[in-house]
Structure 1
Amino acid sequence: MTEESAAMTSHRPYLLRALYEWIADNGMTPHLLVDATRAGVQVPLHAVKEGRIVLNVADRAVAGLEMSNELIRFSARFGGVSQSVSVPVGAVIAIYARETGQGMALPEEIGDDSGHESGIAGLPQDAPARPSLSAVPSDPATQDEDGGPDKGPDAPGPRRGGHLKVVK
């Protein structure tokens, strides 16, 4: 098998459509959590909080819902005003049922560096990269004399000086 034939399309849109159907079939209200800082996201700016937006995508809440392999589009009312919404599939962080919270947080696509530019006026163009976790070596200053962890601030031990300097 060649490298070209091994490349597959993204599984994200298929997961989204399947989970949407599962949530709706169970009489629940499907919601999408979207990274509004991603390129191509078109949502009402006033509804964005901390770079994210939660969208109710239930049949009764939207009109003309289209879930393609690249884009989710629909019209919805925000503050009583009908507006068009367009969300690239890669900007969807999770899909879940409002009533139970059941659903799925979608994994990042491998090699998905695209789209941390804002598609919304007023949001920063250089959104910070997502933090990653890594092991940190133990600090000798936080260990007791036997090499074990320090027992807290009341435990006896060497006192460290502050790193700030008083300037008058």
Structure 2
Amino acid sequence: MTTPTDSDVQGTSTRPYLIRALHDWCTDNGFTPYLAVYVDKTVQVPREYVKNNEIVLNVSFDATSQLQLGNEYIEFKARFGGVARDILVPIDHVIAIYARENGQGMAFPVPTPEEESATSSNDEGGASESRKTGGIRLASAPVAEPDHGDGSEAETADVAAADEPSDPEPPTTTPSGGRPSLRRIK
């Protein structure tokens, strides 16, 4: 009789299943699902929309075509500034999925250099502060929005950063009705 190995006991990653579940929840409730993604050379997104190695993507069915939420990658086509782009995001680079309207969702650990070396043989530089601390830094990252033919550019999401622990409380919006904040609870 053989004893189970660590991989048998742990199973596959829960991240892709949780991402799909929260995407379904957002869609079922009429919310817009946003993905916050840590960007390195293994992530295929328009680089001009990346800020601080991060990008926020609107993954609603209205903003994407051919969306596939797989176990290893998230793939879809989206328009950025009126130009259709192919997007490919490794699942381990998704650092959050949340509803744009109320900020409810889930955050995941930022890839560590060891995880990156497993998907990339050459790191593009030193670890950013958010990777070193394991905190989530999402600030003014571009969002892929549907192009309605009116010539409008991709929208920018104003999602605040919170690296310090905080009390569990719902995300807040600015008095002017701005976007909700995403806080990581440790």
- What TM-score range do you get, normalising by the shorter chain? 0.5 to 0.7
Q: TM-score, normalised by structure 1?
A: 0.68
Tell whether the 8 Å contact from 1:117 to 1:126 is kept in structure 2 after alignment. no
Q: Are 1:25 and 2:28 counterparts?
A: yes
Cα distance change, pair 36–116 in 1 and its aligned pair in 2 (3 A): farther
> In the alignment, what sits opposite 2:4?
2
**Structure 2 residue 11 is the aligned partner of structure 1 residue 12:** no
Corresponding residue of 1:36 = 39
Partner of 1:126: 125
Note if contact 1:117-1:125 (Cα within 8 Å) is conserved in structure 2. Answer: no
Does the 8 A contact of 2:32 with 2:100 survive in 1?
yes
**CA displacement, residues 25-53 of structure 1 (integer Å, 9 cap, x when unaligned):** 1100000000012x420000011011100
Query: 1:115 is matched with which residue?
Result: 116
Please tell me whether the aligned partners of residues 117 and 127 of structure 1 are also in contact (alpha carbons under 8 angstroms): no
Structure 1 residue 117: Cα displacement = 9.4
Q: CA deviation at 1:7?
A: 3.7
SS at match of 2:20: helix
Contact 1:17 1:67 in 2 (8 A): yes
Q: Percent identity?
A: 45
Match of 2:97 among 90, 95, 101: 95
Residue in structure 1 matched with residue 74 of structure 2 by the alignment: 72
Assess, with a 3 A threshold, how the Cα gap between structure 1 residues 108 and 80 changes in structure 2: closer, same or farther: closer
Identify unmatched segments of 5+ residues in structure 1: 134-168
Contact 1:61–1:76 (CA under 8 A) maintained in structure 2? yes
What's the CA shift for 1:127? 3.5
Shift of the 94–29 alpha-carbon distance from structure 1 to 2, 3 Å rule, reads: same
- The residue type equivalent to 1:102 in the other structure is Q
How many Å apart are 1:2 and its aligned residue? 1.8
TM-score by length of 2: 0.62
For the Cα contact (< 8 Å) 1:116–1:125, is it kept in 2? no
Shift of 1:132: 3.9
